[in-house]
Structure 1
Amino acid sequence: MERMSRLVCFDLDNTLIDRDGAFLKWARWWAGLYGVGESGVDWLVAHDNSGFRPRAELFELARARFGLAAPVDELVASYDEEHPLFAWVEQPVLDGLAALRAAGWRVAVVTNGGTVQQNLKLEYTQIADAIDYACVSETVGIRKPDRRIFELAATRTGTTLDGGWMVGDHPSHDIAGGIAAGLHTIQIGNRHATDAPAPDHQFDSVLKAFPVILAE
């Protein structure tokens, strides 16, 4: 009997792509657009909190800090379409995703974030073409670490959670969520210090995760 395909879930930001690097590039462009200089770039990076500060809150602070006239919702909407254009993906990452699929794995991106911005990142980097399904929290109405978001990814890829993996950078969202869903887990980097349970593996690059999963 042919073995059923198994599932690998990847976080997007700071896992498959360098989200913080993309934010820095955007911040330099935005600072030039608004004439706020390098100090403005430093301020944006310092207040961004790796994307975890709500965007409305960030731009409300930015309006006050830089004396901007545009309303917050307009600034956020512009950011959601601008920031993804500064994202990039390394070719070896796309090659790793392709190798997983060629080996019979189903590959899903499971990401917390807004529909417009995350979908644009996936399309612009061509990750959308390299995976089987993208599960964006705002779109589906569920956020990691809720087990249901992983169950949805399994359903949409025609798999189950049995023997699957979750690869991501956030201990409380990706690792704790993956463990709660019964998945093996790989943490990328150590940006976030939390009391979340330990992953099965921890690497400094997602590239090191591919051979571990392929060896299964």
Structure 2
Amino acid sequence: MPQPRLACFDLDNTLIDRDAAFLDWARAWCDEAGLGAAGVEWLTAHDGGGFVPRAELFAGLRQEFGSAPTVESYDREHPLFTYAENAVLEGLSALRDAGWRVAVVTNGTVVQQTLKLEHTGIAAVVDYCCVSEAVGVRKPEAEIFAIAAREAGAALDGWMVGDHPVYDVAGGQNSGLRTILVGDRRGGPVADHQVESVLDAFRIVIG
């Protein structure tokens, strides 16, 4: 029998609103540390959507304000501010009910990304969670998608859905997957579809 098809999803700013969670974390941490609104403004201005290395970000914060969290404490605390909308969890479950194998493919650390996946409930409604640090390869390399397909029990045939033109769109295309770009980023290869929300992507994948 042919293997099921694969639907891959990025995590941050695709299945969850990572930037909103970062803002909530920054407010809580700065309030406790006494940095106030100025600290929050600095963190959000220099966060780079999570792509600035945390050690670099917090070194800059310490230089500016004399105080900063450790990367280790951030990795444990930030995931507790994340959440997944019920419609997202229902959409992932609906894909599996329709015969798709569903995988999350995310760059990041094992501690932080695993905590996010468990805290939000996403880990419970997908077939496999592929975290780059755990498997030793990052998006956009084709190998990470091959690992996701193998571990999810699927053919490397289907979709990659994410918010980043290079990591998600180019990565999916490198692997022979069709692609859906979530959000309004520009640059890089053109996805098969571009949508405002992952909820729109569910409707495209499920047909």
TM-score interval (norm. to shorter): over 0.9
Per-residue deviation at 1:193? 3.2
1:193 to 167, 182, 186: 186
After TM superposition, the structure 1 = structure 2 runs for residues 116-127 of structure 1, keeping only pairs within 5 Å, are 116-127=111-122
Structure 2 length as normaliser, TM-score?
0.97
* Aligned twin of 1:141: 136
Q: Tell me the alpha carbon deviations over residues 118-159 of structure 1, each in whole angstroms, 9 at most, x when there is no partner.
A: 000000001000100000011111000000000000110111
Give the gaps of 5 or more residues in structure 1.
none
Is the partner of 2:47 in helix, strand or coil?
helix
Off by >3 Å, runs of 4+ in structure 1: none
Matched, 1:32 2:31: yes
CA RMSD of aligned residues (A): 1.1
Count matched residues.
Answer: 207
After TM superposition, the structure 1 = structure 2 runs for residues 97-136 of structure 1, keeping only pairs within 5 Å, are 97-136=92-131
Would you say the 8 A contact 2:3–2:153 is kept in 1?
A: no
Whole-angstrom CA distance in 1 between matches of 2:144 and 2:161:
14
Matched, 1:209 2:201: yes
Whole-angstrom CA distance in 1 between matches of 2:110 and 2:2:
34
Whole-angstrom CA distance in 2 between matches of 1:193 and 1:186:
13
Partner amino acid for 2:54? R
Per-residue deviation at 1:37? 0.8
1:178 to 172, 179, 183: 172
Whole-angstrom CA distance in 2 between matches of 1:3 and 1:137:
28
Is the partner of 1:20 in helix, strand or coil?
helix
Whole-angstrom CA distance in 1 between matches of 2:149 and 2:83:
26
Give the gaps of 5 or more residues in structure 2.
none
Partner amino acid for 1:179? Q
Structure 1 length as normaliser, TM-score?
0.93
Q: Tell me the alpha carbon deviations over residues 37-65 of structure 1, each in whole angstroms, 9 at most, x when there is no partner.
A: 11110100001000000001001111111
* Aligned twin of 1:11: 10
Q: Tell me the alpha carbon deviations over residues 56-114 of structure 1, each in whole angstroms, 9 at most, x when there is no partner.
A: 1001111111112x7xxx61100000000000100000000000000010000000111
Is the partner of 1:166 in helix, strand or coil?
strand
Per-residue deviation at 1:3? 4.5
Q: Tell me the alpha carbon deviations over residues 170-208 of structure 1, each in whole angstroms, 9 at most, x when there is no partner.
A: 001100000110001000002x432x1100001000000
Whole-angstrom CA distance in 1 between matches of 2:71 and 2:189:
34
Partner amino acid for 1:145? P
* Aligned twin of 1:155: 150
